[in-house]
Structure 1
Amino acid sequence: MTLNSAGMRSDGADGGLFAPYAARPHLRITTVYSTSWVCDPAQLPTDEGALTDFLSFGRLAPFYKMAREQLPRVLRKETIDCASLVFQRWRTDLPTSATLWHFLHPSGQILVALTLDVPLSLVESVPLMEDLYYANIECAGVPLEQLAGERVGHRSEPGEVPTPGFLPERHQLVFRSVRSPEDAPNDDTVQRVIYRSDLPYRPEYSSIDYPAELNRRPTTVGALGPYASLICGHQDYIENCVLLSAVQTVGSAARLREIREVAHAYGHRFRTRSDSERDAHRRRTMLESISEGLSHLELELSYSVETGGDIGTLVPALRVESFHNALYSAMGLTDRSATIGQMLTRLSNAIAAELTSVESAEQRAGDRRRIRTVVAVTFVTTITGTLSLLFGFFGINARQVDDQRSMFDDRYTPIYTLIALILACALAIFGGMRLHERRTERRERSRDRTWGTIHGLLTREFGAIMLDPTRFTPTPSPNPTVPGTRTRPPDGEPQPSPSGAPTQ
């Protein structure tokens, strides 16, 4: 049994074996733009914007339904009047259809996609692709960026400095039908489309990637670059899967750049903190705010960038996974996310070390406050205790206390001597304890932490044997005039002389 170009059984049996290949008469170009507009997905109805309501995924539809919370969703789909479109470079003809899409990335970022069907060949579409990539398009006199913003409720106030809506991250998809293996584009045509340049090239210096699963059939072609991809001869549902993967990847790339910019701002703030932030409390407050921000960035990096690079777990399809992984790699997201992850980790380590320094400074300040408090309380206690002993003695009703004598009379010398002895004993006890503490500190500082320390530990724990170098047998000094004892060689064999020259 063989298959025809439509994907049906060629022997005339009823029913199709798999979905037919796309038989579109014109070229389809879809450009995906990342934007600075965000929307909280939790504020939208969960059953609104389902992918399967706007895009056909064929037999893969159940998997996209199951993973709808981890994939982009469709906010709007609008058909645009082709006669109202004006381009900067391409002026040869009008598109046959135009569709404006608004997608919502799982991170909350809104992405815009413009799909045009044009009666052009691949090479003739290069000027149009330039206009689409740089958004040099107007619809009824309104720039595409402004039109896309108005559709989601973004309007600049009069006198307000307009903020850019479209961000640098964007990717173009070119879809084309292939009727026969001879109709498939060659490598030179592919590179002209991927690089958007109608010039020859040297294949050994090309960075175009050809995923294996997208180029398996004679009539299928899949070529990827960082900014444009060419998909030829595949089914409609594969093209829709490719579109959704491009939306996911462009959104992740934009979020990765934002994470890098915020992390760079945190690092700059940490390194150039002013003298007013040298105070321990202000330093702690600043470091805690940066540390909290870094925790959010690390979580966003994991869930909005790194997790988005895995589509095979959600959709078990070789061609979809092959394109998605290749696009992530072509746009450099895998290596960049690892680099930015290390950047966040090292900045977190620096913040933690600085917090440890602040805690140590605060602890030393606390110790000094406690010492001052203890000294003051001890002084007051000593004075009041001494006066309590003295006044307690003079306040008793005993015959040893004569109310006719002065308290400074020589008769009371024994009681003053006793109080002085008590104070002297307290001072001696304090001095002895301080002397013992200093000796202990000196002994700990002078502890030998040399080579034998770690090997002594190994000796105790693992049974290593430590040798005494003084018991080594000295190496005998060689006597150049007296040959050493050796076995006599067999007869007829040359015997080396003491000088090293062979003896005949």
Structure 2
Amino acid sequence: MQPGTSTNATVLDSATRERTRVLLLFSLSGRLRPRDTALGALVDRYDYGRFAPHLMTSQDVLPLPVLDERVAPRRLRLPHGDHGLGLASLRILVVTTPRGDAALVVDCAFAGETTAGDLAVWLASTCFDRERIELDDRPILQTLAAQLGGRPLALGQNVHQLVFPGGRLQRELLSADEARKAILLNEIVYRGRMPWNPATPYDASLAPHVRNHGLTLSALGRGVSVQTGWAPHVENGLALVAVGMISALSVLQRTRLAAFAMMKANEQALTDSPTEIRSLISRLSAGVNELQLDLAFGVEAYVDSLLIPEMVTEAFQSSLGDALGIRDSLENSARMVERLTSVISTRSAALDAELAERDDRRDRTVSGLVAAATLIALPPTLLLAFFGVNGTNVDDQRSILDLRAYGTAYALAWLPFVVLVVIGWVLLRRVSTRSGSLLPAPDDAFAPVPPPRSPSGNRRP
């Protein structure tokens, strides 16, 4: 059924849905860089109604579709069957952010009536056994990768399922009493894995976050959101928000792992070569720069209401962000990257100071050697003068290179210089090794422990 309209033909944000619609959002691991395709922007693929002007101005920040295909429902095969829920339509999209963080979107509409119990089992199957979902008798990602030119795809860790109930289920959710409504929402949001007895004491940490506006109802947990009574353009806007949040969560997880990997590389690197140390610092600095870009343009760009500054989507974005813990994770990850940057800067400064001290000691040693060489240049001069005069000890029949005749004179002239060269070489070696390792191992016995951070509040399920 089309969205309801008022007397002046203004499209409302609420509507009655005949068929239940479910959007499966799967994060994809790795990077899938966007490329120029004929698909255009994501705002061109769905109807966003009054949200479209906001999205048009922000389309350079939004995820881009790299694949959009309407698929015959019979081509999709679930690992444990369809649980009695046949599909009326199926649409599959692969979208990726400008930073290359990809997500798989499976847009399903059911053919008949759906119950909360059957829907919960269907959601559990498509979440916990998602690696076994097949398209054309092959794993779904293999089929999609072939359509993307063979670029490998792999499922990530994050899943979110948007449920837009229709038909009898929608009417039941909007009209049921609070006890019945809580049972239905709890079963869907927790995919039937956490049954709730209304007779037990109310536990706010387990109950789904619910907003009931009469004609519409929103309930969400970490993995499932139930949005009832919204018009299609609002549903599409909520789906876009969820895609951005799932991508942001994947970026946070990748950033955290990369930060730990760089910390380990920093701790395990033991070398005395300035070239190798500078190369290590350069690699770590480049890695930290990438982490900062990921946090800025892969997370922060999608966790506020700037893309769609509307109360409907802002409320959903705020609640979903609390359920996923994105803001706390972003704060902690940013702090980790900041401290890693400080460690790299400190190590670079320590290396520069140590090399400057080494160069200074070497310069002083060389200056001393030059001064000493100047002082002992007098004996060779006198030796040459000795050969130049017709003294009684100089035989004009012998060559001045005859060491048997003049060996003692040569030894007396050059021995101090040779001794000076040896002493200078030893001193230079001592200067090079005097300070020990330029990259010492961290002292675990005195590792500082940061003070505990005060909690920011209770997280929602």
CA distance in 2, matches of 1:20, 1:171: 23
Encode CA deviations 1:106-142: one digit per residue, 9 max, x unaligned.
3222211112112312232011101221313222311
Q: Which residue of 1 aligns with 2:183?
A: 188
Give 1:50's aligned residue.
Answer: 41
**Any conservation in 2 of the 1:57–1:241 contact (CA below 8 Å)?**
yes
Q: What is aligned with 1:172?
A: 161
Partner of 2:60: 69
Amino acid at match of 1:96: A
1:98 corresponds to: 90
| CA distance in structure 2 between the aligned counterparts of 1:392 and 1:263, rounded to whole angstroms | 69
Q: Distance in 2 between matches of 1:86 and 1:313?
A: 38
Return 226-235 or 111-120, whichever deviates more: 111-120
Is 1:363 the counterpart of 2:352 in the alignment? no
Which structure has the larger Rg? 1
Q: Which residue of structure 1 aligns with residue 248 of structure 2?
A: 252
Contact 2:70 2:91 in 1 (8 A): yes
In structure 1, the partner of 2:234 is 238
Residues 51, 65 of structure 1: 8 Å contact kept: no
Question: How far is 1:364 from its partner?
Answer: 2.1
Match of 1:289 in 2: 283
Q: 2:119 aligns with which of 97, 108, 125?
A: 125
Deviation at 1:224, TM superposition (A): 1.7
Query: Could you say what secondary structure the match of 1:34 adopts?
Result: strand
Which AA in structure 1 matches 2:237? C
Superposed, 1:373-412 pairs within 5 Å as: 373-384=366-377
Out of 71, 83, 88, the residue aligned to residue 74 of structure 2 is: 83
Q: Secondary structure at the match of 1:78?
A: strand
Q: Map 1:417-432 to 2 at 5 A.
A: none
The Cα shift of 1:366 comes to 0.7
SS, match of residue 68 in structure 1 = coil
- The structure 2 residue matched to 1:223, chosen from 199, 219, 223, is 219
Residue 342 and residue 349 in structure 1: after superposition, are their counterparts in 2 closer, same or farther (change >3 A)?
same
Amino acid at match of 1:286: L
Q: Does 1:299 align with 2:293?
A: yes
Corresponding residue number in structure 2 for 1:19: 12
SS in 1 for 2:60: helix
Long gaps (5+) in structure 2: 394-461
Report the alpha carbon displacement of residue 150 of structure 1 after superposing the two structures with TM.
2.3
- If the length of structure 1 is used for normalisation, what is the TM-score? 0.68
Over aligned residue pairs, what C-alpha RMSD do you find?
Answer: 3.0
TM-score normalised by length of structure 2: 0.74
On the 8 A contact 1:131/1:137 being kept in 2, the answer is no
Structure 1 distance, partners of 2:164, 2:3, is 17
The answer to whether the 8 A contact 1:39-1:109 is kept is yes
1:176 deviation in Å? 1.6
In structure 2, the residue corresponding to 1:96 is in which secondary structure? strand
Partner of residue 138 from structure 2, selected from 134, 142, 159: 142
Paired residue secondary structure (1:301): helix
Shift of 1:286: 1.0
Q: 1:30 to 1:166 in 2, by over 3 A?
A: same
Map of 1:206 onto structure 2: 205
- Cα distance in 2 between the residues matched to 1:20 and 1:285: 57
* Partners of 2:392 and 2:30 in 1: CA distance: 95
Asked if the contact 2:103–2:247 (Cα under 8 Å) also holds between the matched residues in 1, the reply is: yes
Deviations 1:36-56 (A, max 9, x none): 353333x426x8422232111
Partner of 1:413: none
Say how many residue pairs are matched. Answer: 378
User: How far off its partner does 1:209 sit?
Assistant: 5.4
